[in-house]
Amino acid sequence: MVTTKTGRGAEAWPRLRVADWTETRDTLHMRTQIVGKVRLAHAPLLNHWWQVTLYVSPRGLTTSTIPYDAGAFDMEFDFIDHTLRLRTSEGGARSIGLESMPVADFHARVLRALDELDVPTTIQGHPNEVEPAIPFAEDFQHHTYDPHAAHLFWRQLLHANRALGEFRSYFVGKVSPVHLFWGAMDLACTRFSGRGSPRHPGGAPNCGDWVMEEGYSRELSSCGFWPGGGDEGAFYAYAYPEPDGFADSPVTPSEAFYSQENGQFLLPYEAVRTAADPDRTLSGFLHTTYEAAAVRGGWDRTSLEEDPARWSGHR
């Protein structure tokens, strides 16, 4: 069992080098795509594909409630007991161990468990936003699962989820939940100005351009955490469409930089983890990169932003 110090000190933010868990990360990525596609198969469309995402839970990652006929079901990656749990509103339950196994076997077990729970499901048979996109039923390449690394990754997500949720509370305009998109396996939160945007050109590997067109159909400022882009992963922030001067805007902390290759600001996870106050360091990055988008883009900040402590005196 991995133990971490509670509270918000540097010790609470776990160290996980990308190079130490790449094979597990890539296998887990394919597993989240399979589970995410189950949700996609049953949940009605929400703007920007919000209906397909996963959410950080007290034990791992969950689909939340998925409608099916007159009932519902859910699926949760438990990174404490290392089990995928499936539950239905009819009282049915199944579990699949998250040990090392080929993606092909995991895919077959998930679909078989759904059949046994009377939730037969057909999903798109290959992953998106990756290259090459090996069909799940034929993927024997990705098979590694290190429970220690998976647990540490979940602990990273717990901290990122908390920080992004606090940042989200300052915005009263349209804003996404804090959720994990399994296409790139990044935890994200997105704010919207209320205006439309130019048609997105697409270009994500093995993903229709129309998917990106829906995702970026409104002007936005997005931020999140991705288990790549640095020695221990990276926090990111970008704007679409990117306003003039965005890339040259001053942001904090000093370790943050604009990546021309990625078209976004990046902050190495390790710069947050090793800071004297990790939460404050990350908050500075989230707020200053949003302000760069909002100021340069001419957002109506007066109507979109609010103090989350505005009612504290009445409690």
> What local confidence, expressed as pLDDT, does residue 11 receive?
54
Q: In terms of residues, how long is the chain?
A: 315
> What local confidence, expressed as pLDDT, does residue 310 receive?
95
> What local confidence, expressed as pLDDT, does residue 5 receive?
42
Q: What is the mean pLDDT of residues 73-98?
A: 98
pLDDT at 12 over 90: no
Q: How far apart are CA 245 and CA 243, in angstroms?
A: 6
Q: How far apart are CA 204 and CA 188, in angstroms?
A: 17
Indicate the pairing of strand 66-68 with strand 179-181. Answer: unpaired
Q: What is the mean pLDDT of residues 135-145?
A: 98
> What local confidence, expressed as pLDDT, does residue 234 receive?
98
Instruction: For residue 229, name the pLDDT band (cuts at 50, 70, 90).
Output: confident
CB within 8 Å of 160: residues ≥ 6 apart:
187, 224, 225, 235, 282
Report the chain's mean pLDDT, rounded to a whole number.
Answer: 95
- H helix runs in the chain, sequence order: 18-42, 103-116, 147-168, 209-215, 269-273, 278-297, 301-304
Q: What is the mean pLDDT of residues 206-215?
A: 97
Q: What is the mean pLDDT of residues 183-209?
A: 97
CB within 8 Å of 151: residues ≥ 6 apart:
2, 79, 80, 82
Q: What is the pLDDT of residues 21-42, one digit of tens each?
A: 999 999 999 999 999 999 999 9
Q: What is the pLDDT of residues 170-188, one digit of tens each?
A: 999 999 999 999 999 999 9
The strand order across the sheet containing 234-240 reads 179-181, 186-196, 218-226, 234-240, 264-268, 257-259
Q: How far apart are CA 77 and CA 27, in angstroms?
A: 13
